[in-house]
Each structure stands twice: as C-alpha cells, then as structure tokens.
Homo-oligomer: A and B are copies of this chain.
Amino acid sequence: MTDKTRIRRLPERAVSEQETIYSILDEGLVCHAAYVVDARPVVIPTLYVRDGERLLIHGSNSMGLARAVRSGSPLSVAVTLFDGLVVARSAFNSSANYRSVVVHGTARLLAEDEKFDAFDLIVEKLIPGRLADLRPSTSSEIAQTSVIELPLDETSAKVRSGGPEDDSNDLDQDVWAGVIPMELVPGEAVPATDLRDGIDLPDYLRSYQR
C-alpha cells in the first residue's frame, strides 16, 4: 500500500498497460478527487465512470471540486480496489493486496448541452440497464448537476497481488502466513418503502456486479 512495498516487491509494480488501468477504472465505483485551494489539498469521494479516454466525475455546481475545476486547479484522482490483507511473518512484510489508478490532469466542467448525454452515461455505466427504465433528466436537474471531465492522459497504476514475500530468515517461524482476500460484494436488494406493489426487481439489479 506504500512506495516501500512497490519498490521492494516484485508482485507490486508500476503497471503501465492501458488494459489494466481501464479494468481498474471500470470496476471502481468511487474515486477520491484531490484539488488545491489556497495552497492546501482537499480530497473528497465521489462517483465517476470511465468513458473511453476520459473520466466523467459526478458532482454539483455548488461543490468545492467543481469550483476548483472552474478556477483551473489541477486534479489528482485515485481509484483503489482493496483486494485483501497480506499476512506476513513480520510486521514489516505485512501488506495489502490492491489495485489502484491515479490520474493527474486538468479537468473541465462539461457545458449544459454536453451534460445530458454525460449524465445518462454515468447512470448507465454505474448500473447497466438502468437508463432505459428512467424518464429523461430535466433541464433543471441538469442545471444543478455538474459533470467533470478528466482526460486519461497522465495515469499510473499500482497493483499488488499474491501471497506474502517473507524474508528467508522468517520462513521457519511457527506462525501462519497468507492472505485474507476481501471483496466489495452486493447484498440483497432492499425495495424503497414507497415502492408500488407488483413491481419486481429488474434483472439488471438482480445480478448486479462490478
């Protein structure tokens, strides 16, 4: 989870392949977007999707992130998938399995006429199949929404996977070592309390996965 680990270990390395970067970005739901205000960093979680060579980050006109983009602040956006705890035979070699992408760049706020399509894209990529079930967004809703476009020009990925990499001196210790895998798992859908009778859970939600 740290540069230390990246430098010291083979399984965790800078991964430049676009495919890996895309697969991480496509599996994630939440990004952490950092911007600068008065020389201080601010980081916030928000929803995003990847659309080709760009991220579309969901926001509102009133949020600090949108204001920062409008004023020209560069962004740093991270998407991290936590895959497990690496339980090594020493504290030092204990670690985490994860896949993460960081994107740096200058973003822009989409214009009103671009936001309709972008907003639809965000909904459909977060919940494939959903868009067809929804009425179109209204101009008033779109006016309250901001969509931040960040090009995927400057991206890096880090991946650590596999078991612990213990020092050879530690291997004869009488202590368990391995990995506790962790996964973000969807639970059973919970209907809204005001859901009308006779409306079944659609298939695209029954089998939802990332």
Contact = CB atoms under 8 A, between A and B. Distances in A.
Interface string A61-94: 1111000000001111110101011010111101
Copies in the assembly, this chain = 2
Interface centre among A41, A63, A75, A92 (most CB of B within 10 A): A41
B90 A141 contact: yes
Nearest to A136: B91
Chain A interface mostly helix, strand, loop or mixed?
Answer: mixed
Contact of A134 (B7, B82, B90, B208): B90
Interface residues of A, number: 102
A96 B47 contact: yes
Interface string A154-184: 0000000001101000111111111111111
10 contacts: A30-B82, A34-B43, A36-B40, A40-B76, A43-B78, A43-B102, A44-B100, A133-B176, A175-B199, A181-B187
The 6 tightest CB contacts between A and B, nearest first, are A4-B60, A3-B63, A34-B34, A32-B32, A181-B187, A34-B43
